[in-house]
Chain A
Amino acid sequence: MPTTVPAYGSEAAERLASLADVTASDGALRRFLHGLPGVDAVGLDARAATLGTRSIKTSAKAYAIDLAISMIDLTTLEGADTPGKVRALCAKGVRPGDGAPRVAAICVYPDMVATARQAVADSGVQIASVATAFPAGRTALPVKLADTRDAVAAGADEIDMVIDRGAFLSGRYLEVFEEIKAVKEACARPTGTASDGEAKGATRSAPGGAAHLKVIFETGELQTYDNVRRASWLAMLAGADFIKTSTGKVAVNATPPVTLLMLEAVRDFHATIGVRVGVKPAGGIRTTKDAIKYLVMVNETLGEGWLSADWFRFGASSLLNDLLMQRQKLSTGRYSGPDYVTVD
């Protein structure tokens, strides 16, 4: 097996170049994606269900809760977002309370990036911004790229882009591929436009470098497991640093089977060229129990190497409160309630 390199490093680009023949033309890419083995849907569902039955208790549970908190992309993506709300969320993300670790990132719309950047300061919490006409992705490419550049210029460390599901579902894979590549290029941080936070970038994962790119598939709209596997490979071939299930804006969001499938795609990709890609399930993960099930899946599929905020994230808003309540339960022995966490 080739040595492991992170997806955001320069070596990863060289490794990807070795697969250039796969993405040389629309035909070649289609042949490759459709040549991926079909997904055993029944087996996948059963495997995900089995991994959800592990019993994680006491000290292991305490560890899992803190790990899950440190992996959260604390998210607010509402039309009603105000600077005040974003600042409050940032404050909570930096200090969730009771000695809990800080969250991995704050996820906001591009126009809130500057506010969030200022609010988290040099705490080490990253700023993630959705971009490319989130959540539908239905605008022209130049608009999407401008959206991305704006967010990066405002200080975003991570960009969550949505793929063009219309193009993907109608089989125009190369178009999707080129779009992801273009957005990845737009994630590069232009010199001289660095934001205030940039000067203190020592604690950030990409100091002065490009923003990391998460590619959202909106798996609830991809219809089949086979499509999810194809989308995963497509995004990883195009240079995604993370692959993400959903926007949280449609009826079906992250499910254990879909996430397991993406984890397996990441495992296979890693086995092929040694490039390590992260996974982010998002939407519908609200309870500690759910979060721990996902952690079990990561550990069993990808191993401990992925059990860190660098390689696995939860896109969530209400999950943090449940984790904090469970944390209080473990430390005090008393069941906690919503009166003892923030309303947000």
Chain B
Amino acid sequence: MSGKTGGRSHRNVKPEGQSGMNAVDRLSVFKTYKLFVGGKFPRSESGRVYEVTDAQGAWLANAPLSSRKDARDAVVAARKAFGGWSGATAYNRGQILYRVAEMLEGRREQFATEVAAAEGIPRPKAAARVNAAIDRWVWYAGWSDKVTQIAGAANPVAGPYFNLSTPEPTGVVAVLAPRDSSFLGLVSVIAPAIVTGNTVVVVASEQAPLPALSLGEVLATSDLPGGVVNILSGKAAELGLPLALHQDVNAIDLTGADGELAVELERAAAENLKRVLRPQPGDSGKGAWSADPGTGRMLALVETKTVWHSMGV
């Protein structure tokens, strides 16, 4: 901050709702952005931070620069939360996700401001993206008790058995969040992973991590059990490898990894046969994340369990 010119009392992230107040007369209270791990808000274990700037290069905030040990701790937290979250009823998970949307609704202004600064887009456009993100969250919340109906089946078998297939959560999912879409893209990768009962470790966009770190504050106040979503900020290249190599991670979503890194991580992920979601062509560029997401992301992170049950006595 010392490098800032003294005359700049307005920061880009100041909510517009306050512009009526005489903001020049008071000192801004800068926010310390922190990680979200296991339902708590730790700093990076390494003590490192890095400067986050807006699209024009002006300083916005310092974000924690997570280390591989933060990634390890996040995986431990996610694993600990998995039993409870995957064991919760689909109805209960849906209610909690809907509650998250309720909390997001009350913070639309804040997210719109952060998204506008992070992505360098006009505020109305940012507000529209935040609205789309909340709508998407609600849309996924609705899927919690319906996904079994489209991904499960009562299979006809040649014997006196009921034969039922149901989708089960894969486990701990490492997610490299989209680099460009700091909030809509972020929500579009987290919600489909957790709605089926997975727990996630998310590496936020390196350039635009602030909306993701603020999302942690929303999740912490939304009845979501601690550890279901863990959010790290830092370099995808630094955090991706320990997560891809981690033996206790069951799947990895490489959306935020560029070509070469994605190949390297996929190779590392093969070690314990992780499920790998490769970056999709439609995940970046103009109009990314605005289309109907479909069920692909949910179904990519479930395992089919088939049960044979004898009929009659």
Contact = CB atoms under 8 A, between A and B. Distances in A.
B246 A337 contact: yes
A335 B271 CA distance: 12
A318 interface: no
A326 to B, nearest CB: 11
Interface size class of B (residues with CB under 8 A): 10 to 19
Nearest to B71: A335
Interface in A161-211: none
Interface string A319-340: 0000000001000011111111
B245 A337 contact: no
A334 B243 CA distance: 9
A335 B78 CA distance: 14
A98 to B, nearest CB: 13
B247 A336 contact: yes
B247 A340 contact: yes
B245 A339 contact: no
B79 A335 contact: no
B303 interface: no
22 contacts: A333-B245, A334-B246, A334-B247, A334-B271, A335-B72, A335-B75, A335-B242, A335-B245, A335-B246, A335-B247, A335-B248, A336-B248, A337-B75, A337-B79, A337-B246, A337-B247, A337-B248, A337-B249, A338-B79, A338-B248, A339-B248, A340-B247
A328 B271 CA distance: 14
A337 B247 CA distance: 6
A335 B70 CA distance: 12
A328 B247 CA distance: 10
A339 B171 CA distance: 12
Interface in B225-251: 242, 245-249
B241 to A, nearest CB: 10
Interface centre among B75, B79, B242, B248 (most CB of A within 10 A): B248
Contacts of A328: 247
A340 B272 CA distance: 11
Contacts of B248: 335-339
Contacts of A333: 245
Given A334-B247, A336-B247, 7 more contacts: A334-B271, A335-B75, A335-B246, A335-B247, A337-B246, A337-B248, A340-B247
Interface residues of A, number: 9
Q: Would you call the interface of chain A mostly helix, strand, loop, or mixed? A: loop
Interface string B41-81: 00000000000000000000000000000001001000100
A339 B79 CA distance: 11
Interface centre among B72, B245, B271 (most CB of A within 10 A): B245
Interface string B89-127: 000000000000000000000000000000000000000
Nearest to B72: A335
A337 B72 CA distance: 10
Nearest to B75: A335
Contact of B245 (A334, A338, A340): A334
Interface centre among A328, A333, A335, A340 (most CB of B within 10 A): A335
Contact of A339 (B72, B75, B247): B247
Interface in B195-231: none
B153 to A, nearest CB: 28
Contacts of B79: 337-338
Contacts of B242: 335
A328 to B, nearest CB: 8
A338 to B, nearest CB: 7
Contacts of B245: 333-335
B43 to A, nearest CB: 17
B312 to A, nearest CB: 35
Contacts of A335: 72, 75, 242, 245-248
A335 B72 CA distance: 7
A334 B245 CA distance: 5
Nearest to A338: B248
A333 B247 CA distance: 11
Interface centre among A333, A337, A340 (most CB of B within 10 A): A337
A167 to B, nearest CB: 42
A340 B249 CA distance: 12
Interface string A104-121: 000000000000000000
A337 B272 CA distance: 11
A26 B248 CA distance: 58
A340 B271 CA distance: 13
B83 to A, nearest CB: 11
Nearest to B271: A334
